[in-house]
Structure 1
């Protein structure tokens, strides 16, 4: 009996150790989730739910599927291509247009992503401190981020993100469960494939395009391989680990997005709350959990936004510097493959962190409007990204037997069609 207990204890200890090792190995996917989630998914899902119930759920489902497809293909290319190229170098092989376009596009979108992250973090910090100075608080956020950027804190940030992700997921999941989601309406909205009439603060088409931009079409998806490199996942044998990590990350993203959407549809919408400010977003937790809910929301959102600011400020300059080295090959020869060695990397970081403060100046567009608008603008680059990836991921000379299968090619063609449709709709809506 004693021997059996000892064996059982050893087996249990082994299982616990294995689970810990598995969770510890997950990293780039977690970084990616919070870099993606930040405010884009949080706002677009809550706005869609509060304004249009579950009628736009099919857009989210399709976008999450395409996000997994696109990020997995990008990661696979970086791990499996025969010449050890980065994804940006791969695009550079197709045509110089892709390199110049992605350089400018990453610079602009990185600025705009941090614009609403910094604005949102400033507004939340202002609320937490009970001072009506969101612009000053945004400056404080940038100052603290600037201080942390010089430190070797990748592992610390990763661990903090894991905890925050668990807390955020739990808080919204519990609230969504308590709200009693209408499963029938969720299924109907997921297979509905229709755009409802405008009834909310933001037009249904703009919200739909914003969801596609925030989830499937975001250039932030390209940052994932650079976090993989920091983790040491650079060889073909890391393919399975990378895919499992990404599957875990996407699964968590699905749970979070669905929970936020349910909160919008089942709590905000019935109470007549339209998401026009970040305070409107927090009312759901406050209505149900009182002051504790208030604390969970504001501290959770602030930490998530701040983590995303750090992630984008360190991730986007790698992407931009990589693209610059393709345009200016002499810089790659001079500074090598470590992007941080190039002085321009630091300038890109400063640009990414400091210039977005102009959007926090009083009188600029509100946080929610900025999030919806910026994520809709992602659609501008989505067709170029999708078409380039379709060509690149089928190149036998680079990928050999690791090219796309039939299903992946069909879905990528679908993403190209969706990207072109979204871009046309955005242009028509704008003009």
Structure 2
């Protein structure tokens, strides 16, 4: 039997075109791991400890929301060949100014918070050194690992941390022997008395930061830069957020089974995770307690690495665009001058905040700007994905506009709530 050479060539070409579509472990895993930090685990844990499984549906909704936002950012990048910051420039000068102020103030405060979280986990595992010194060591190690901006190494390291998180966090949930009937019952939407803020937080806040927008830059670093990669981007994004959803559900299970059922209350903030490790130790032995602390460390350090790499790429694009640096100039890319400048900004000035215990005014400014970044992202994506810049095939469908509109409204409400909380110290609250 003979095969026509033209047909054979066509089949070979199809195989070549299809093969890369299924290399799906990539930027989605990175953005999901970066977004799920210790603070997000605490928020979910506290929700489970106070309301049992009643808000499980909100956690699942939160995963769907993040899939929609990240898919929109990725679709913009692949369909237009432009970065998300170039899109914001198209939206208007106000968006450029907002992002410029945000990325500077946010980076200073977030650097201190991320290093402190990892330092707390290290101090719990190795208590011979104070938290702030462990935090500073964390910042230096994180900066060194991403200094040259090598994406392949960075992605592999993040995959290892995700693996550690999966084994430890999900393992802790399995050890509590969850009631599957109650778990399924938690998928029915309902809001218990006093749970409105927690519901919004789970649906909109968990795993949602500026790093969602960094997805565009990680796509480019991976080499996924044209509409040809649209399908694999969507698979990559959905699969990664399903994994992050498993983390969130696992923490809610731990809160519901270990704390809600026994009436145990934990401290606010990342310190609650250290206390939880103590509860696990008392209930199941030292091995599980230490194993959970390793997961806490992996979750915190993955956020450090993700922000140090991804947001530095965003900052480099911001500065290069404002200064009209031509495309292809080394200053625009990972490892370039602007990229390294932001890595240093995330690392060294926050160390002063660790020593000064973070001034209230800076925390308030961080809270004000941060509270409205997610609605900013949702609204600007709504504008960009309906613009003529995007080829008609890749523009929003009507139902997507409705979804993004609802997401934007939800984040505005959540942002207003966070704004009130951030301003409370200045108002004497």
TM normalised by structure 2 equals 0.82
Residue aligning to 2:350: 356
Residue aligning to 1:318: 313
**Range moving further from structure 2, 205-214 or 351-360:** 205-214
Residue aligning to 2:159: 162
Say which of 377, 389, 408 aligns to 2:381.
Answer: 389
Describe the SS at the equivalent of 2:37.
Answer: helix
CA–CA distance in 1 between the matches of 2:328 and 2:226?
25
Q: How does 1:170-185 map to 2 (within 5 A)?
A: 170-185=167-182
1:286 to partner: Cα distance: 2.5
Matched, 1:226 2:217: yes
CA–CA distance in 2 between the matches of 1:101 and 1:361?
29
Residue aligning to 1:248: 239
CA–CA distance in 1 between the matches of 2:169 and 2:303?
19
**Range moving further from structure 2, 212-221 or 295-304:** 212-221
After superposition, the Cα gap between the structure-2 partners of 1:183 and 1:109, relative to the gap in structure 1 and judged at 3 Å, is farther
Unaligned runs of 5+ in 2: 1-18, 425-429
CA–CA distance in 2 between the matches of 1:71 and 1:293?
34
1:112-138: CA deviation from partner (whole Å, max 9, x where unpaired):
333222101112222222225111111
1:377 to partner: Cα distance: 6.4
CA–CA distance in 2 between the matches of 1:174 and 1:397?
46
Paired residues in the alignment total 397
1:178-207: CA deviation from partner (whole Å, max 9, x where unpaired):
42334454455444342632xxxxxx5554
1:124-167: CA deviation from partner (whole Å, max 9, x where unpaired):
22222222511111122222223333356533332233233233
After superposition, the Cα gap between the structure-2 partners of 1:23 and 1:323, relative to the gap in structure 1 and judged at 3 Å, is same
Say which of 289, 293, 316 aligns to 1:298.
Answer: 293
1:297 to partner: Cα distance: 1.9
Residue aligning to 2:412: 420
**Range moving further from structure 2, 159-168 or 68-77:** 159-168
After superposition, the Cα gap between the structure-2 partners of 1:156 and 1:291, relative to the gap in structure 1 and judged at 3 Å, is farther
Matched, 1:130 2:127: yes
Residue aligning to 1:98: 95
Unaligned runs of 5+ in 1: 1-19, 198-203
Task: Answer whether contact 1:116 1:359 (CA < 8 A) is retained.
Answer: no
CA–CA distance in 2 between the matches of 1:184 and 1:374?
41
Q: How does 1:7-46 map to 2 (within 5 A)?
A: 25-46=24-45
Say which of 392, 405, 422 aligns to 2:397.
Answer: 405
Q: How does 1:327-342 map to 2 (within 5 A)?
A: 327-329=322-324, 331-332=325-326, 335=329, 338-340=332-334
1:70 to partner: Cα distance: 0.6
**Range moving further from structure 2, 386-395 or 110-119:** 110-119
Q: How does 1:192-203 map to 2 (within 5 A)?
A: 192-194=189-191, 196-197=193-194
1:102 to partner: Cα distance: 1.7
CA–CA distance in 2 between the matches of 1:47 and 1:167?
22
